[in-house]
Amino acid sequence: MPKQAKYESLVVWQRADDLFVRLHQITRQRFPADERYELTSQLRRAALSVPANIVEGSAVRHHRERLQFLRTAWASLNEARYYLHVARRLGYLPEDVYAELVREVRKTAAPLSGLIRSVRAEVLRERSERSVGRA
């Protein structure tokens, strides 16, 4: 059995990965075919970007680079949430399904926000250590 990648143990990655799979299934089941290259594609790309950027961030050495990837994941998560709003307004998602998906987005956002805060604190700590070293 292959060794588990570092990011696979992150709750935020697990939730983002689950969210992508769920949104992919929903778009297959509920979105019309004529949306395939528009809203469907945009929602899937935004949702896929969240776990992908978490993976990329976990592969870099420097906290500042990691923070940039996590901020991109955050932006993509918010973009996906907006596309869900649009899908509801266009009648592709009933209110109960929309509410369930927004809950899943929030469940992903909470640990992502915490991870961003933690990495940002590391960036600030490193920055202050460098400035003390120069003094």
pLDDT in tens, 20-77: 999 999 999 999 999 989 999 999 999 999 999 999 999 999 999 999 999 999 999 9
Q: What is the DSSP string of 105-133?
A: HHHHHHHHHHHHHHHHHHHHHHHHHHHHH
Q: What percent of the chain has pLDDT over 90?
A: 86
Please, are residues 40 and 27 in contact by the beta-carbon 8 Å criterion? yes
pTM: 0.92
Summary mean pLDDT of the chain: 94
So what's the pLDDT on residue 119? Answer: 96
So what's the pLDDT on residue 126? Answer: 87
Q: Enumerate the domain spans of the chain.
A: 9-134
Per CATH, is 9-134 categorized as 1.10.150.20?
no
CA distances from 85 to 39, 68, 70, 88, 105 (A): 11, 26, 23, 5, 12
